[in-house]
Structures are given as structure tokens and as C-alpha cells.
Amino acid sequence: MAVTEPAPAPPSTHEGILLRQSLRESAARTYARALPIVPVRAKGLTIEGADGRRYLDCLSGAGTLALGHNHPVVLEAIRKVVDSGAPLHVLDLATPVKDAFTTELYATLPPAFADDARIQFCGPAGTDAVEAALKLVRTATGRRGLLAFTGAYHGMTAGALDASGGATDVRVTRLPFPQDYRCPFGVGGERGAELGARWTENLLDDPKSGVPAPAGMILEPVQGEGGVFPAPDTWLRRMRRITADRAIPLIADEVQTGVGRTGTFWAVEQSGIVPDVMVLSKAIGGSLPLAVIVYRSELDAWQPGAHAGTFRGNQLAMAAGAATLAFVRTQGLAARAATLGARMLGQLRALAAAHPVVGDVRGRGLMLGVELVDPFAEPADPPIPPPAPQLASAVRQECLDRGLIVELGGRHSAVVRLLPPLTLTDEQAAAVLDRFADALAAAERSTRPKR
Ligand code: PMP
């Protein structure tokens, strides 16, 4: 006789949703693994989970939320479109919303660039805009090869992956991105950057280098996923000169560095360089998906339909994005990111001085990174301790336990990354750093080798 089992108690919303996610979603899911949170409400820096817990969100949708969650100007812009009766799907047709977005975006670009720029609306992810940029310069130059950098991250589609640091594609020539702490030349600073630039020049000018004239060079002004490495301004200017002198289009991937994040509206402004192509996504959609490339009109040699896609007309994203761009511009949030970021960098460095597990603290504006290392490892040559990814994930977990969301990055996932919204107040910054300091101390205690 069949025994009727009592129905299992329904799992709580929080646990049930997480359980169902783990049973149904792909093994390739990412953030969800380290952050078992079920967000149900969010405002500014704060996310509230289905379990009632509150978190300070310093991941900000992987650097997307310049104004934090659900900023009033963003919500108002979205509501206005919804209430207006405007169509939500329009392919790449002209609309008043798109026109206003483009006008606002052009107002933020370096004038020397905006005056002679074309814009291509891409599929809604940064990686699609990277593909478009590569296609654009390949068509315009008639060449195939690409110059890209160690540690780069440009996305997850094939061309963008090729250009990223993990790739093995031979059409991409890999050049050293300047880094002080683990300088490939062992010297760091301006000298390390100078040696990298000389290597680049040499490859391009040596007829037997095995590097044919490339279609373009793609770089991030501050590498984000690669571990938070700001490129020195002199090096960026040198890359601009090297590429300009050899008629190689320079593509600045500002997907993560744009919209005030690094202390100027666009990160390239700090070095004063004007690239040939800018790849823009994340914050330009004001939390909704939007990606474009903007480029010198001379490169506009591709054919109609050369980079098509159904979802290139997200009206809500354009409205939210235009409102975000205007707010960052009129409220001076880039300058605020510069000041607050410099202060937080100083405070993190002071904290590092008391913690030998912190190997390096770096960043620009509100794009900050703390590299964790194993200070007990055998000294290497040069004597830089090895990265400590396990400790980094312990820090991330301790942060989460204290209601602080951070992410890891870097070659070995040993860099704790802080990407708070540009609207962060002084009090919130202090709360973030307090929780981080506590979490660091706890993780250090729990992983310290017993002697
Ligand atoms: N370029 C850079 C510099 C990025 O940081 C990212 C995403 N982290 C991308 C491109 C890819 O953007 P998406 O994830 O929207 O495809």
C-alpha cells in the first residue's frame, strides 16, 4: 500500500529560490556562486535580500551602476517613456529618446572627438560593441591583426575573447600592459612602462618581428578585470603617438572606466589622448543594457548592415542612460569620484601597512583594488610574494558576512575589487572601509599558518 508522504514544507523564499537556481541554472553561472543573495529591493548603495538582510553593494553590477540602484532620476526617466506611449521596440530606427541620448552622450565626449564622431548602436552587451569596433577597424584598414595587452578583458564573444588576456589566437599580438607591482621587466613605475612602449615600437618597426601591420590597438585605460591597473598617462600618450605615427586606429575600451568612474568623465581625458574609437557600455545605460561605439568619421567605411542586431534600440536604457550621463555631468560626480577615490585609496594603503597579507593597493577614482598575497611563501626574485586567491575569497566571504558585497579580479583572482557608486557619501565610504577592515582581519586570522 502506498504511503502518502506529507508534502514537504515549502522552502522559504530565499532558500527556495537559491535551491532552485542551483538545480536549474548552468554550471557556467558566475557571481551567483560566490554571492548567495536573492535581491528583492535596492536603493543607492543598499541591496535588501529575500532573507531580510541588507548589503552595501560595492560590486554595482560589475561597475554599471554609476548612481547606485534605482536612482530617482533613472526611475523617473524610465517612467516617462513608459507613460508616454512610445514604442519599446524600434530596431535601430530614430526616436526622440534615442536622439536625446546621443545628444547627451556627445556632450560628455572630448570635444575634439565628438566634433567628428559617428555612433553605432550595438547589441546590448559590451562584448558586442567590442566586436563592432574590431570589425570597423578591420574594414577601414583592410588589415586583420590586432594589438592587445596582457591582462586585458574585453568580453566573452569570440573576437573580444581573442583580444582578452586569456586568449591564444595568433592574430592578436600580445603586448605588456604596465604594472608596478608585478612588472614583467622587474622595474615598475615609469621605467617599466617605458620598456613596454619600446617593445611595442620595436615589434611594429622590425620587418622581421613576425607582426604584420595590425588593424588596430585595443586597450583599457584602467584594466579592471585584469586586477585594477591604471595605465600611466605618459604611457597612454606614447601608445597614442605610436599608433598615430603608423596609421593604426586606437580603440579605447571604456566599458568599465567610463561615466566618471575613474575621476574624469572618460578615463582617456586624464592623459589627454583622443582615441579613434571608444567602446562604451555598462553605465551609459543607467542600469539597463546598452552598448555603442563612437569613432572618427573617417573610419566609417563599413557597409549597411555590417553590424546588425535585433536589440539595438532599447528605449528604456537610452532614457535611463541619458538621465545618468546628465546627472553625472551636472553634479560633478567624476570630480567627486576622484576626491573620494583618492581618500579611500589612502585609507586602504594605511590599512595595508598593518596587514602583511596585502601586497598592493591600487586604483583610480572609484575603481579600487586590494591584492592579497602569501607573505609566508619562499621569497621569489624579485621579492614579490605570490598572489593568495584563497585568502581573497575568504575576504570576500567575510565581507559578505558583514553585509558588504565585493568582487574578485586579477590574473589569479587574488584582487578584491571595490566599485561603489559615484553617489557614495562620506559616511557610506567609512562604513564600507570599516567592514572591509574587519573582514580582512578575520580572514587573515582564519588563514594564518599555525606555528
Ligand atoms: N570591456 C571591459 C573593459 C569590461 O570590463 C567588460 C565587462 N566586464 C566588457 C568589455 C564586456 O562587457 P559585457 O560583459 O557587457 O559584454
Determine whether the shortest distance from the Cβ of 224 to ligand 1 is under 6 A: yes
- Looking at the domain assignment, is residue 347 inside a domain? no
Per-residue DSSP letter, 373:
B
Q: Are residues 148 and 289 in the same domain?
A: yes
Question: What was the pLDDT predicted at 188?
Answer: 92
Q: Look at residue 350 and tell me if it is in a domain.
A: no
- Cell numbers 559616511 correspond to 427
* Residues 160 and 17 both lie in one domain: no
Residue 158 has what pLDDT?
87
The answer to whether the beta carbons of residues 410 and 228 sit under 8 Å apart is yes
CA distance 322 to 95: 13
Does residue 131 line the site of ligand 1, with CB under 6 A?
no
**In the prediction, which pLDDT does 162 show?**
87
Q: How far apart are the first and last CA of the chain?
A: 62
Residues 89 and 53 in one domain: no
Tell me the CATH number at 405: 3.90.1150.10
Task: Give the pLDDT confidence score for residue 12 in this predicted structure.
Answer: 74
Q: Kindly state whether residues 206 and 275 are assigned to the same domain.
A: yes
Q: Is the CB of 124 under 6 A from ligand 1?
A: no
Among 293, 315, 330, which residue terminates a domain?
Answer: 330
The alpha carbon of 219 and the centre of ligand 1 are apart by a number of angstroms equal to 12
Kindly state if the Cβ of 127 falls inside 6 Å of ligand 1: yes
Report helix, strand or coil for 148.
Answer: strand
Asked whether 64 and 125 are in contact (CB, 8 A), the reply is no
Write down which residue in 281, 315, 330 finishes a domain: 330
Q: How many CA atoms lie within 13 A of 284 on its CB side?
A: 34
- DSSP string across 197-263: HHHHHHHHH-TTSS-PPPSEEEE-SEESTTT-EEPPHHHHHHHHHHHHHTT--EEEE-TTTTTTTTS
Q: Do 309 and 380 fall into the same domain? A: no
What separation in Å is there between the alpha carbon of 203 and the centre of ligand 1? Answer: 28
Asked if 184 and 176 count as a contact pair (C-beta separation under 8 A), the reply is: yes
Distance CA 197, CA 205 (A): 12
In a domain, 335, yes or no: no
CA 61–ligand 1 middle distance (angstroms): 11
Sheet holding 358-364, edge to edge: 358-364, 367-372, 415-418, 407-409
Residue 257 CA: nearest ligand 1 atom is 3
Q: Is 225 in the pocket of ligand 1 (CB under 6 A)?
A: yes
163 in the same domain as 95: yes
Looking at the domain assignment, is residue 84 inside a domain?
yes
Residues 129 and 207 in one domain: yes
**Would you say residue 26 lies in a domain?**
yes
- 217 and 310 together in one domain: yes
**Atom 7 of ligand 1: nearest residue by CA position:** 155
In this structure, which amino acid lies at residue 253? D
- Shared domain for 306 and 410, answered yes or no, is no
Residues 96, 170, single domain; the answer is yes
Is the minimum distance from the CB of 155 to ligand 1 under 6 angstroms?
yes
With a 6 Å cutoff on the Cβ, whether 62 touches ligand 1 is yes
Residues 22 and 127 in one domain: no
What pLDDT score was predicted for residue 201? 97
Give the pLDDT of residue 357: 97
If you write DSSP's letter for every residue of 30-92 in order, what string do you get?
-HHHH----EEEEEBTEEEETTS-EEEESSHHHHT-TT-BT-HHHHHHHHHHHHHT--S--TT
Residue 178 and residue 256 share a domain: yes
- Ligand 1 pocket residue status of 153, Cβ below 6 Å: yes
State how many domains the chain has. Answer: 2
The beta strand positions in 358-448, using DSSP E, are 358-364, 367-372, 404-405, 407-409, 415-418
Residue to mutate (ligand 1; options 127, 218, 262; most atoms within 8 A of CB):
127
**Residues in the chain with pLDDT < 70?**
1-11, 167-170, 449-451
Range of the domain at 426: 13-64+358-447
The residue whose CA has the least distance to atom 10 of ligand 1 is 154
CB of 82 within 8 A of CB of 316?
A: yes
176 lines ligand 1 (CB under 6 A): no
**How many helices (H) and strands (E) are present in the chain, helices listed first?**
14, 17
The grid cell for 316 is 528604456
Q: Is residue 36 part of a domain?
A: yes
Cis peptide before 382 (omega within 30 of 0): yes
For 243, counting Cβ atoms within 10 Å of its Cβ (0-12 exposed, 13-18 middle, 19+ buried), the class is buried
Alpha carbon of residue 429 to chain centroid: 20
Secondary structure class of 433 (helix, strand, coil): helix
Question: What's the CA gap between 9 and 443, in Å, rounded?
Answer: 36
Is residue 25 in a domain?
Answer: yes
Residue 176 lies in a domain: yes
